Structure 1
Amino acid sequence: MIQVLILLLLQQAEKVSAAWSVTFENPDICALRGSSVEIRCSYSYPDEESVRGTAWDRGMNQNGVWERVRLSGLPSYNGRFEYQGDHAHNCSLVLRDLQENDTGYYYFWFDTDKFGRRSKTSVFLSVTGLRATVRPDRVRLGDSVTLDCQTECQNGKIIWFRDGRPVAEPTFQAQTTDTGNYSCAFEGLKSSQSDPVALDVWYPPLNVSVEVNRSDPLLVGSSVTLTCRGSASPAAITYTWWYSSDVSNSSTELQVGSGQVLSISSVELAHTGTYICQAQNRAGQSRSAELLLAVEETVHPLIVLGIGIKVIILLVLPPILIWVWKCRSRPHATNEENTSNDYENGIFG
């Protein structure tokens, strides 16, 4: 008889337990930092009961004691959670703008006319970020580059961005234009992308050229400045200047300076020749094309004045002589004409 009574009591306890329950659709959830998550939940109770209130709690260790703390009482959740359920059987919860410190255990509680019930089990929410990496650590022009996105959550297809613009493929041959900041995200969740990782493509100096500030002609005694230009990553650390007086023979080159700028304060005829700039960084070195400097002798001002006077005389004197000659010739021609007329009148008068 006692055994029958115990069996009946156990059956009754099972019925009561089935009548009061909380069920989580997914008790182990992984979500990305910055994203939103819905914790789907349902609960049940005896038909004769009515639900008066619901709430969500978070399990927290306070002073060495594990406690359930209402989300509504935690300032860090203000404006970030929303109860999606009702006072019937739906107890779903939405958490927005997730942070990594939101990782933890979550419980549901509801109150009826007679009892207050809380879930025996919980949902464990793991909030994680994405971590972008670039391989290899040091990339030179032409190297094969692989972008890797690491995460504890597997929520879909990974997409990549460089300085906010989409990247077609996570593996490519490094070009100078690939330098930038890369971040990854799951497709459709751009707002939860990873922190950026920098890619700096190293390449030797490119498009090295020489700029010269001078006025033509370049005269003896004047000054001239040569500046070496070019792009490089990392920046060029040394500049070397080479000079050759023999334009047709580069083997006669002499090193004449260092630094990005070569200045000659007072040029001489001996400075005539070709100049080359060589730029070097940790990735290599490159040379500019040859620049020809032609130095001319200075012409004395008195010589210039004498030449000018001669030119003026040669241009002005001939017209003056012609004009004088014409002026002297006109009266003589008139007298001859008058005499001729008088002679004719004498014969035929």
Structure 2
Amino acid sequence: MTSSNSSSQFVICIDMELTIALLVLLVMKPGSMTASWSVTFKDPDICAVRGSSVKFRCSYNYADGETVQKTAWYKGQSEGGIWRRVELSVLPLYQNRTEYQGDRHHDCSLVIHDLQHNDTGYYYFRFDTDRYGWRSKASVHLSVTELSVRVYPVTVRAGDNVTLQCGTSCQPSSTVWFKDGRPGAKPEFQAQAEDSGNYMCAIEGQKLLRSGPVALDVQYPPLNVSIEVSHPGPLANGSVNLTCSSAANPAADSYTWYKRTDSFSSSSLLQVGSGQVLSLQVVEKSHRGAYLCQARNSLGENNSTEVPLAAEETDIDLQIILIGIGVKVGILVLLSLALIWVWRHRCNSAVDEEEYVNDYENISISQPHGFTENHV
């Protein structure tokens, strides 16, 4: 009895050893289950911009004669300190955002739309056949990033060289730039006043997914300094305001007014006031001349073009002119009358003399008979 039990235990041990050996040979044999069952990810480390779509390119293999019955993607999550794989179909976060583009043959590609920051993580694939289930040991790691723009230098003045950088944790890729919503901006340029605005960047091919805007504030001294006259044209007695304006960043904080006293001298500028508005309360002849304004901020200064200011002739001036004209006319009339009087007086004298001579001759002719004229 004892011998029979020992023989049975020996046979069982032999059978177990043969079974183990057979399993080892099966695992090591080319074309075995472990060699023909696999999941491969084309890009196991993916970085994408928030709001974009990403595609996990995946392929899988299995033994001939098997038929795939189910495929599923999972996301790795830590729950209570234990790493678990949770199927995407049961996670509310992925509802209506995942699209399985694979099949039940060899393609296991997956697309996730409208990426959010909490999509960052590890993803796994599993498929089941009639007899076996296989899940990937490797994973796809997804990083969701945000685009951001930085400006160098921080403070920009007209003439400075400016560099715009599009920041992302993804690998460097081609970017496109926008200024105030319009494409075509350059990431490097020499700043001018008109370059102030809001700049955004986007990844080439994803122009609708733009970064948040960053403001570029280009500082410059006063430009386009001009003068506005409250009453253009000839000015009568009263008041007139000259207003100085300019384009400047920061805004001009000082205005100085000058009047040119000599049009033939470049140094004949007389300071006549300060402030953005110059008020001339009584416009007289002394106010006639050319005025200019100088605007200044912390970066420099600039002058306006000269504006001529001409005073209109007043009523008193007209009266004086009329009186002068009247006096001149009166003198001319008096002179004319005097000349006429002299001329007439001379004419009358000549007529009287002629009449006198005629009277004498008549007396000689009418002498009485017997009167003898003596001839010398």
The normalised TM-score by structure 1 is 0.75
Percent identity for Structure 1 against Structure 2 = 55
2:223–2:246 contact (8 Å) kept in structure 1: yes
Q: Write out aligned runs for 1:24-173 (5 A).
A: 24-154=41-171, 156-167=173-184, 169-173=186-190
> 2 CA distance for matches of 1:37 and 1:67?
23
User: 2:360 — aligned with what?
Assistant: none
Q: Match of 2:93, SS?
A: helix
Letter in 2 for 1:277: C
Q: Match of 2:315, SS?
A: coil
2:225 to 208, 213, 229: 208
2:234–2:309 contact (8 Å) kept in structure 1: no
Over 3 Å counting, the alpha-carbon distance change for 1:16 and 1:203 in structure 2 is same
> 1 CA distance for matches of 2:80 and 2:228?
72
Deviations 1:27-52 (A, max 9, x none): 11222333322111122334444322
Over 3 Å counting, the alpha-carbon distance change for 1:62 and 1:238 in structure 2 is farther
Over 3 Å counting, the alpha-carbon distance change for 1:25 and 1:10 in structure 2 is farther
User: 1:299 — aligned with what?
Assistant: 315
Over 3 Å counting, the alpha-carbon distance change for 1:302 and 1:244 in structure 2 is closer
> Deviation of residue 268 (structure 1)?
4.3
> 2 CA distance for matches of 1:134 and 1:288?
33
Over 3 Å counting, the alpha-carbon distance change for 1:239 and 1:11 in structure 2 is farther
2:289 to 252, 269, 273: 273
Q: Which has the larger radius of gyration?
A: 2
Letter in 2 for 1:203: Y
Deviations 1:267-294 (A, max 9, x none): 3444333322222223221111222223
Q: Write out aligned runs for 1:331-342 (5 A).
A: none
Question: Is 2:302 the partner of 1:282?
Answer: no
Larger relative contact order (C-alpha < 8 A, sep ≥ 6)? 1
Structure 2 unaligned runs (5+)?
1-13, 327-376
2:38–2:136 contact (8 Å) kept in structure 1: yes
> 2 CA distance for matches of 1:148 and 1:216?
54
2:26 to 9, 12, 18: 12
* Cα RMSD for the two superposed structures: 3.1
Paired positions, count: 305
Q: Judging by fraction of residues, say which structure has more strand.
A: 1
Question: Is 2:196 the partner of 1:179?
Answer: yes
> 1 CA distance for matches of 2:80 and 2:229?
75
Question: Is 2:207 the partner of 1:190?
Answer: yes
> Deviation of residue 247 (structure 1)?
5.0
Letter in 1 for 2:74: D
User: 1:341 — aligned with what?
Assistant: none
